[in-house]
Structure 1
Amino acid sequence: MTQIQKVEWPTLAMLAACYGIWLGAGLWLYPVAPWGALAVMAVMAGFHTSLQHEALHGHPTRNANLNELLVALPLAVAYPYRRFKALHLRHHRDESLTDPYDDPESWYVAEGDHARLPAPMRRLLAINNTFLGRLVIGPPLMVFGFLRDEVRNLIAGSRGVRRAWVHHGLGLGVLFAIVWGVMGIHPLVYVGVVAWGGMSLIAIRTYCEHRWEETPDGRTVIVEDSRILSWLFLNNNLHLVHHRLPRAPWYALPRLYRERRAQWIAANRAYVYRSYWDIVRAHALSPKDPVIHPALRRATRAIDRPASVAGGFQPSGRTPSAGPAEALPVAARPEH
């Protein structure tokens, strides 16, 4: 078989369903029930980020360019696919998970950086560490931090970043030609309801995905029974399985978990929730983690370090790394 012929049909079916439901909601439901249509589109925008996550890990084909094309329409607006890919693959260096500088998706803040923040920002970050806070203010904090650092990357001329944004700009042009020109939805309404809502949906999954633990496997969660959310998250509720086997397709993760359930739970030091409802009950208004990393970066100097912002707001003034294939100049690399 050629690379393009070897495809994962369940993932292609999910892509077709995502785009079809999104289009149907905007074209036919919006004129008669606008808020219902926007809610459906928000769910599909969140679902689309799960599909983008599959694509960056090499699905549904073995051709990376074709995978990118399949998820190129940026339904959730904020993140260029190529930047998401570079930063997320860096996140998969499990030995660096939760590090405030070296993990692109860490919400922890280094102690020295936290001390320099104004009191209102420290308060916002504390609220953001509750489940409801993450859903409400997590998306704007995340996007603000990401865009701020991307501007620094563009000014620095980091390799690949400008091209990623050019591709993203073309995708946004097509998106808003459909949303505004065909569906009649104002771009600000789309961003404020659909995009924000989609990011909030994904925040349900990412809220408990990682914690600090001495062993890398102990830093990654398993949520066993997520019902319909497992479809929207493409089984990434079984997050440790994904981290250990990142090339496994989404539909294989439940079987891989069932076959070795006891070993998976032992490996992650029983960082397991029965369902997302258990997370809501435990942490709706109570932070799961401290804002300051409990073990790493206890005494940091006020210097720029690359790392990321794909997952969390990083207030230190750092510039995010463009990833293994898009390295920053040597002077901007982190000290190890």
Structure 2
Amino acid sequence: MTLRTRPIELPTVLLAVVIYGGWLALTAAHARLPWPILALLGGWFVAWHGSLQHETIHGHPTQWRRVNDLIGGVPLSLWLPYGAYRRTHMAHHRSPHPTHPAHDPESRYVTGGGVIAAVARLRATLIGQLLVGPVAAIAMFLLDEARRLRRDPAGFAREWGPHLVGVALILGWLHLVALPIGSYLLCFVLPGQAGSLLRGFAEHRADAAGPSRATTVASRGPLALLFLNNNLHAAHHAVPAAPWYRLPAVERARTQRPEPRYDGYRDVLRRFAIRAHDTIHHPAGRGDAHG
């Protein structure tokens, strides 16, 4: 399958225009909207932007990395530096043992007990993930970054320096349109993170078949657009360079589909609303992935 026929992929460029234009229009018009509508739309655009960032990290929509980084690097979420996202996500794809917490930085499995394990148990159900997950994920990431500052100050500065410049520009715009930072966090950032966590909830299982341990959620509705078809996660791992609008074709072309499959997000909700999707501890334990 030919993955790139032109140096610029117009569907993703147009998508970026819609996302940034919609975010600008929504923040400017926030005072005219009731907060439930603002939270629904704000969460949509921030989660959609996260999906766009995933595309730019994988080399879209142009053949020039710096251009892609400029398109995806605007920190609408405020808390996640683009460089940190790139670093951890590409390590996830390179991991020799996906899902194992010692080898995969995007693993959701935990190795200890206490508060971290208690929070992980809450997040093992879909309702818990949506209610507790956004704050927990952000807090855990910032705690890890604080530790990284002591361990790798130069690397921390390379990622957080450009990020803080972008955050300053975002805050300047929010001040210009009189959108309080508290309202932005509650109506844009946290709902947006909840949307991203919905996508990631059933993406991987340690016991899933296949080298990537990825699953497939066969959604064809609005959530497939929100996630830019990354719900077809096994297909994405099979061909990571495929742009979002070609992932359905990649999925159709796969001759073997051994991974767990869910019939859309209603199926995920029905199965795991209040029941754990998986154990919180990796079956290989704390040591080697094959231990």
Equivalent residues in 2 for 1:1-336 (5 A)? 6-28=7-29, 30-35=30-35, 36-110=37-111, 113-114=112-113, 117=114, 120-179=115-174, 181-213=175-207, 215-217=209-211, 219-260=213-254, 263-266=255-258, 268=259, 271-297=260-286
Kindly state the Cα deviation for residue 218 of structure 1 after the two structures are TM-superposed.
Answer: 6.4
By how many angstroms is 1:156 displaced?
2.0
Aligned residue type for 2:33: A
Instruction: Specify the code of the residue in structure 2 equivalent to 1:96.
Output: H
Q: Secondary structure at the match of 1:219?
A: coil
1:327 maps to none
Gaps of at least 5 residues in structure 2 are: none
Q: Is the 8 Å Cα contact of residues 138 and 200 (structure 1) preserved in structure 2?
A: yes
Contact 2:46 2:76 in 1 (8 A): yes
1:240–1:264 CA contact under 8 A, matched in 2: no
**Helix, strand or coil: the match of 2:274?**
coil
Indicate the percent of aligned positions where both proteins have the same amino acid.
Answer: 32
Q: Indicate the SS of the match to 1:96.
A: coil
Let me know the Cα RMSD of the aligned residues.
Answer: 2.1
1:71-95 superposed Cα distances (whole Å, 9 cap, x missing partner): 2221112110001000000001253
1:313 corresponding residue in structure 2 = none
For 1:91 and 1:298, the matched residues in 2 are separated by: 18
Displacement of 1:178 after TM fit?
Answer: 0.8
Segments of structure 1 that go 5 or more residues without pairing to the other structure are 301-335
Q: TM-score with structure 2 length normalisation?
A: 0.92
Measured after TM superposition, the shift of residue 40 of structure 1 is: 1.0
Measured after TM superposition, the shift of residue 155 of structure 1 is 1.7
Equivalences, count: 285
C-alpha distance in 1 between matches for 2:95 and 2:266: 27
User: 1 CA distance for matches of 2:211 and 2:14?
Assistant: 32
The TM-score normalised by the length of structure 1 is 0.80
Q: Deviations over 1:17-75 (max 9, x none)?
A: 111111111213x1211412343122100000000000011000111111111122211
Answer whether contact 2:110 2:117 (CA < 8 A) is retained. Answer: no
Change (3 A) 1:61 1:297: same
- 1:205 touches 1:233 (CA, 8 Å); kept in 2? yes
Q: Per-residue CA shift, 1:104-156, capped at 9, x if unaligned?
A: 1111112xx22xx2xx5433221111001111111121111111111121122
The superposition leaves residues 259-315 of structure 1 with CA deviations (integer Å, 9 ceiling, x where unpaired) of: 23xx2413x2xx101111000000001101111112332699xxxxxxxxxxxxxxx
